[in-house]
Structure 1
Amino acid sequence: MKKREKLALVRTHYPNAITTIDSVNCLIDFVEERLDLEPSQIMLADSICSDDVNSIQYPVRASEFLGPFKMGGLDGFPFTGLTGMGAFASHVPDEGAVFVYYGPHIGISKEGVVGEIHRYGQHKGTGCCGAAKGALNKLLNNGIIPGNLNDMDYQMNTIEQILLKEKARIVNAGHPLKEATEVIYEAIDKRINELVSQTKYTCKYVILLGTIHINSDTDIGSFTSAKRFELIDLATNERQNLIGEFLK
């Protein structure tokens, strides 16, 4: 399948999607041309799902950045919290920048099935994101207990509580799984921004790229549907919304 065919498949659901490889290329161009920095001066943190498919499909060129520091647990929620963000912030080169790539993920198979992918060596599709699908299934069957956060399944319970708060919105949506993914994105985006606001950095910039991360079958790869692209100048606290530049 050619690149344009892969993009057409994904853009049926996420019109602004680009390949994850292209998103990394865009970021490298941005830090070199706009910030006059080298990728080796950028400390990358990602808050994406711990699903192994995200490691398998991780863009090779991302290794030009330092890191990545892993902030995300199930479906990308930044479970490492303030301690994780603080630790990560202390690792950044003094004259460099922080780059945080974050968001939930969703699968779209080669056949166009949303919420499924064919993984390497398997003949049948499996859920992606499995945690989001599991939480959604419990939501639709009234199986989520308000306030339930059990130590044995804390991350899953957190995802469930996020969806429960927006039950009517999700249940009434034309595509509940896509809507649940949007709800989870909003929760992740809110938390990342809270963590950034409460963390002290010693570098020059913070770069935030909030996305819906899209996985597909092994031979198709992964994609980025950007929802936030911002630059924070730590010397002035100026915050620039640059999503238009990322999507052009």
Structure 2
Amino acid sequence: MAQKEYSVRLYVDAGLSQDQGVVLEKAQSHYIGTVMRRKPGDKVLLFNGRDGEWLGEIQEIKKNHSLIRPVERTRIQKNGADIELWFAPVKKTQTALIIQKATELGVSCLVPVQTMRTQADRLREDKMYLQAVEAAEQCERLSVPKIKELTKLDKVLASREADRELIFCHERRDLSDPVEVLEGVAPSNKVAILVGPEGGFTEEEREKIASCDGTHILGMGPRILRAETAVVSALTLFQALCGDWRRELSE
């Protein structure tokens, strides 16, 4: 089977099971038919965050809808740890990059946080969700992260579950061994990683975050990182030392 037949991967809301047809709406029909130039009989991959990944055969492509028949399941549903990314939105392009990279790095929930120096006071959660869907389709994960509405830092801290470890990415913290810091994280599936805005947290915010129970302070190295760089760095460290990169190697 030609490799191009597997290059289309789509997230759908519908349930997935063998021979139960899935109807794609206009935007996805346009994508597979016009953009990717697929035709009836070609194969695509489907996932919905619940039923694993399925190989599907295109039955028909119309202007306003298409019909896909799931043929066989290629991967069972398998989700990673419950990792929330608490991040202060920055400029539009950089925020889109944060959403894309966090999705690729296995975040289960994106929580935009309003800090004293956060630049954005309004966000389009629907647009953020579409960006997360596109990233999930491309990176072959089996789920799409949830998107929360923009919430003030105090409220996010107050609503944190007691069993959710908090990793505070501190841009002004004296250098510390990140391995030692992350080794102190409880072997739990629930964690929140907090990254600040351009300009960083205020001293008052740093003190408030650091005083929360279950907080691990992670120094971000000898250089001041851009917000999007800090997100990628923190998530990479966590996944390599505590997360699914390590678990995948042991399985």
Q: Mark yes or no: TM-score above 0.5.
A: no
**What TM-score range do you get, normalising by the shorter chain?**
under 0.3
Higher helix share: 1
TM-score when scaled to structure 1? 0.26
Higher relative contact order (CA 8 A, sep 6+): 1
